[in-house]
Chain A
Amino acid sequence: MDALKGFINFLAYPQWSFTLSLVGFAAIFWSKRLWSKTGGWLMLMAGTLFFGLSLLDPNFRKIVSKADNVPIVMMVFILGFFVWLSMNKAINNDRRLDSGEPTFEKSEVEDKVFTWPDLVFSEFICMVVLTVVLVVWSIALQAPLEEPANTSVAPNPSKAPWYFLGLQEMLVYFDPWMAGVVLPGLIVVGLMALPYLDTNPKGNGYYTFKERKAEILAFMFGFLVLWTELIVIGTFLRGPNWNFFGPYEFWDFNKIEPLVNVDLSELIWIKLFGYGLPGHWLPREIFGILLLGGYFFALPVLIAKRGIGKSWYEKMGPARYYIGISLMLTMMLLPLKMYCRWMFNLKYFVHIQEFFFNI
């Protein structure tokens, strides 16, 4: 049992769990069987079984039952259910469309539904249930209040509200200017730009997956892997000193984790060339600047030249394509930077502290 727990702790470390979730992400959207009713039940039972058995472990129980964290456990299950529900409807519709039948939404509802009773009644039920849940919740779980605030003392670990833990996890890998301003800003701007970038009229008013594969996968990758998973990591797996802890690991304040980080410039100039760092920032950071310049300016052009990128370019036109691919590449910068941190202890691609430009 301990060996199994140790193995799961090992797998939970971000380099492995993130890789596994990438594989899992590809797998769940590859297979159609997972989104059937049987697949949904199996996933629910597997998740509940894992959670229930893990509750026997005192360290796991302590973290999961913290008043702050209970809603995140609920969120994981609820999110799983709604992803399954929409994908189940989408896969069913895809099958109907393949065989020439009308979509489920069209066959269920002829023309229109009434606000009363169809909508208002559901809303009323939701209101009653939600009120009951909130009352029970507020009685059963004490608010996690702390001592009066002191600017020179912070709880250890210091956690943001749960909905910001994805951003806090991002801050582990980036300069605050990047992870706190540019990337969140681009998330908002990118979401606002979506209706203008995505001109595919399919899926309007009905669930479908095969008609909107690229759109759904791009969004779900950002939402499930880069947002929700980072929230889950930040909530359950980050302990004292913001060190990483497996789900069954004791939160040891004196855990030593060697995290000495180096810049790309140090890797190239010192390790590769065996030469000191140049004094001026331009020659020092030239490789990082070239790398990022190539990533953001040459790569979109190359992608547009061949394969699926060419079809995107032709479908979207240059303006939409370049805006869309830039947003996409900026999003992918996060997992790329995470892997570089895990593999090479990379701190920054470009580190110009002379004028606070760090990526």
Chain B
Amino acid sequence: MTDETQDRQPSAAESPQPEAVPAAQAAPVKPAAKRPAKVADEEISRRGFFSWAAVAWVGFSAAMGGCMTAFGRFMYPNVLYEPPTSFKVGIPDDYPAGVVDDRFKESNGVWVINDEGRLYALIAICTHLGCPPAWLEAQNKFKCPCHGSGYYKSGINFEGPTPRPLERARIFVDPSDGQIVVDKAQKYQWELGQWTDPSSFITLA
């Protein structure tokens, strides 16, 4: 302990001195540094310098602009491996009463369900943390494999941690060919009272 403190004291006393020396010497050195710059000035005229600088800046900006454009373009993939949000799922007669149709879950992420005289499309994204739930036919419920949230056939949540029901997608019959169109871009949430919206279901005769 005592050795360390003795070592430290002299070094602390010395430290101001090395700083003082260069400060005193710095003043005479300064004029010498200016000389080489003058030689360079004579080889290129003022006008010529500015025109070259302009060319350089334009070139630099164009290159940066090109890079940024390419970078921005990179954000939009050439091919999007996503199905369209709006698609046709056959005619209403394809859906027998009380059945949850699992055919479009893997390709388009929706279930089309005929329940109590209405046809509706549930979006297969768990409202807890966004995993895709699975339809369990034997237990008559949707069950999420990530945290165990469960939903009835209607999409209402009843078990697990999920705070709200599944969302429904816009569904309507295309008058030109009688096919059902599901539009996932338009969503209907139960807790906002949107499931009564006539475009969130098809009334079956």
User: Which residues does A use to contact B, with CB under 8 Å?
Assistant: 150-158, 168, 171-176, 179-180, 240-243, 254, 256, 258-261, 347-348, 351, 353-354, 356, 358
B137-182 contacts to A (CB < 8 Å): 138-139, 143-148, 150, 158-161, 163-164
Q: How far is the CB of B2 from chain A (nearest CB, A)?
A: 13
- Indicate if the CB atoms of B136 and A242 lie closer than 8 Å: no
Whether A261 pairs with B139 at a CB distance below 8 angstroms is no
The distance in angstroms between the C-alpha atoms of A16 and B148, with both chains bound, is 20
- Which B residues lie within 8 Å of A240 (CB)? 145
Known: A151-B109, A151-B132, A241-B136. A259 touches B160 (CB 8 A): yes
Q: Is B99 an interface residue (CB 8 A)?
A: no
Residues of B within 8 A of A154 (CB): 131-132, 145-146
Classify chain B's interface size: 20 to 34
Given contacts A171-B129, A241-B134, contact A158 B146 (CB under 8 A): yes
Take A152-B108, A154-B131, A176-B129 as given contacts and tell me if A259 and B150 are in contact as well, using a CB distance cutoff of 8 Å: yes
Complex CA gap A150/B161 in Å reads 24
* A-B complex: 10 closest residue pairs judged by Cβ atoms: A242-B148, A152-B109, A156-B145, A259-B159, A241-B143, A158-B145, A158-B146, A176-B129, A358-B163, A171-B147
Cβ-defined partner of B106 (8 Å) among A150, A241, A242, A261:
A150
Q: Which residues from chain B contact A155 at a C-beta distance below 8 Å?
A: 145
In the bound complex, do residue A353 and residue B191 qualify as a contact, i.e. CB atoms below 8 Å apart? yes
C-alpha spacing A261/B162, complex, angstroms: 10
Query: What separation, in Å, do the CA atoms of A282 and B138 have in the docked complex?
Result: 39
Contact of A241 among B108, B129, B132, B145 (CB under 8 A): B145
Instruction: Report A3 CB to chain B, min CB distance, Å.
Output: 29
B105 near A: Cβ within 8 Å? yes
Give the Cβ gap from A33 to chain B, nearest Cβ, in Å: 40
User: Which of B136, B138, B139, B161 contacts A173 (CB under 8 A)?
Assistant: B161
